[in-house]
Amino acid sequence: MYLDIEKHADSRLVKPVARECCVYCGACVSVNPSPGVGFKNGELVFDEESIVFDKDLQVCPVINATHSTTYPKPPVAEGQTVDELLGPYLEICSTKSTDENVLKKAQIGGTVTSLLLQGMKDGVIDSALLVDKEKGWIGKPRLATTPQEILEFAGTKLSEASVLTCWRDAIKAGYKKLAIVGMPCVTIAEHLIDSSPDFAEFSDVHKLKIGIFCMEAFNYRGLFTEFLKDNQKIKPSNIQKVDVKGKMIIHEITVEDKIAVHTYSLKELHKYSLLGCLPCHDYTAEYADISIGSVGSEDGWNTTIVRTQLGKKLLDSAVASGLLVKKELKDLAHLRNVAALKKKLKIGEKTREPASKVTSDWIAGPAVEDYTYTGMLKPILKDQAKEKGSQVMW
């Protein structure tokens, strides 16, 4: 059942998380084993009696008081350079896989897949949480436990997939060295779960966080059904590949078995983004061990931000084995400009203002330790959301 937002206005389960501002990372579902909590047909559903409020809320990357997408504050370790736009890091470079099988499956560069394959070869990881896609580009979380499965699930998927819902599956299956690949909100949720004594069973098996650059995620029904299928007459099942690098490029298999390329501006598609993405200021997955994107690199190469010693060890091993090649980043300034855009974008408007001004419109009340009030986003009603240019989930 859905939480009745009006009926439960005083509930400790914050209203925006119930529907409007959920980013579908899957953290709350992962830590709450109740069968009454989960996702159905692309929406968060739950039995109101099954929620363990303090535990479920503390892992939400949207509303957590200390670490959230609105106020990313990743821990800083010795030796890291601290960049206010990119987060702490040890090294920034461009990388690319040398494996043709990886490059055929990968979105751009194949670095994420190569790092996972190297990690499994070195014994750094024994499993990975990834996102597969069903027919029609519907994202599906998967637990990969072999190099073959890692390669099978390679490539970017654009809709919400709730990858963390499979974390408990890895525990039950007995895996001890889990890697998780996810967007910035996912890496923040990972940090929240790892750092909580309530969820030691999760942190005990979690070894590697790989983050993916993200400006915003898209609602499946908005982007694939309403825009591409209904508006552009492109069947999701006929889409071969989707590239996002300053614009969205759709590769469609036509009835003549040829490839038609369609290009759309991200501004045009902004209204199909998840509302929960709007207050997010983390573009480069600042909480990850290693973050991967493409902005700032030449075509066909990944931009790689090494943040921790574990990330550095893994990258160095992949380069030494010949699975990856590495070179200097072409345009660090461009990368920082894009990251700045996400931190300064005023919600629903074309103007740019400091992040503090943006978030002041969203955060209710002073920071206190009581999760009933701390850092909670103000409820956003359907009409208000539409005014802000988001289709969200309706």
- Helical H runs in 135-284? 147-152, 167-173, 184-194, 200-203, 220, 266-269
Query: Over the chain, what is the mean pLDDT?
Result: 78
3-state secondary structure of 116: helix
Q: What six digits make up the tokens of 239?
A: 């889409």
pLDDT above 80: residue 386: no
pLDDT reported for residue 111: 97
How many whole angstroms separate alpha carbon 100 and alpha carbon 110? 9
pTM of the predicted protein model: 0.79
Which DSSP letter does residue 15 get? Answer: H
For residues 210 and 290, the answer to whether their CB atoms sit within 8 Å is yes
Higher pLDDT pick, 330 / 43: 330
Q: Which residue has the higher pLDDT, 35 or 164?
A: 164
Give 311-346 pLDDT, tens digit per residue: 999 999 999 999 999 999 999 999 999 899 888 764
Alpha-carbon distance 129 to 56, whole Å? 20
**pLDDT for the residue numbered 317:** 98
Identity (one letter) of the amino acid at 209? K
Per-residue pLDDT of 199-253, as tens digits, reads 999 999 999 999 999 888 877 777 877 888 888 888 887 887 777 777 788 888 8
* H/E run at residue 94: strand 91-97
CA 132 – CA 209 distance, rounded (Å): 18
Is residue 280 within 8 Å of residue 298, measured between CB atoms? no
Q: Other C-beta atoms within 10 Å of 327: how many? A: 12
Residues paired with 252 in a beta bridge: 239, 260
- CB-based contacts of 288: which residues, under 8 Å, 6+ apart? 187, 209, 210, 211, 305, 307, 311
Tell me whether residue 195 is exposed, middle or buried, using C-beta atoms within 10 angstroms of its C-beta: 0 to 12, 13 to 18, 19 or more: middle
What's the length of the chain? 394
Residue 352 DSSP symbol: B
Pairing relationship of beta strands 247-253 and 259-265 according to DSSP bridges: antiparallel
DSSP code string of 145-171: -SHHHHHHT-S---B---GGGGHHHHH
Mean pLDDT highest for which of 47-61, 139-153, 295-309?
295-309
Q: What is the rounded average pLDDT of the residues 18-29?
A: 75
Q: Please give the single-letter amino acid code of residue 262.
A: H
pLDDT tens track for 101-145:
999 888 789 999 999 999 999 999 999 999 887 666 777 888 999
Task: Tell me what pLDDT residue 12 has.
Answer: 41
| pLDDT at res. 112 | 96
Residue 124 has a CB neighbour count (10 Å cut-off) of 18
> If DSSP codes are grouped into helix, strand and coil, which group holds residue 298?
coil
**Do residues 303 and 92 lie in contact, with contact meaning Cβ atoms separated by under 8 Å?**
yes
Taking residues 40-50, report their average pLDDT.
57
Q: What is the pLDDT of residue 2?
A: 29
Contacts of 260 (CB under 8 A, 6+ apart): 251, 252, 253, 254
From the centroid of its chain, how far is CA 124? Answer: 22
Residue 227 backbone zone (phi > 0: left; psi -120 to 50: alpha; other: beta): alpha
Q: How far apart are CA 394 and CA 311, in angstroms?
A: 39
In contact, 249 and 242? CB cutoff 8 Å: yes
Does residue 274 have a pLDDT over 50? yes
What letter represents residue 162's amino acid?
Answer: S
Q: How is residue 350 annotated by DSSP?
A: S
**How many CA atoms lie less than 13 Å away from 355 in the CB half-sphere?**
16
CA-nearest of 311, 293, 313, 291 to 301 is: 293
For 371-393, the three-class secondary structure string (H helix, E strand, C coil) is: CCCCCEECCCCHHHHHHCCCCCC
Residue 201 tokens, joined: 């069973």
Q: What is the phi-psi region of residue 328: left when phi exceeds 0, alpha when psi lies from -120 to 50, beta otherwise?
A: beta
pLDDT at 380 over 50: no
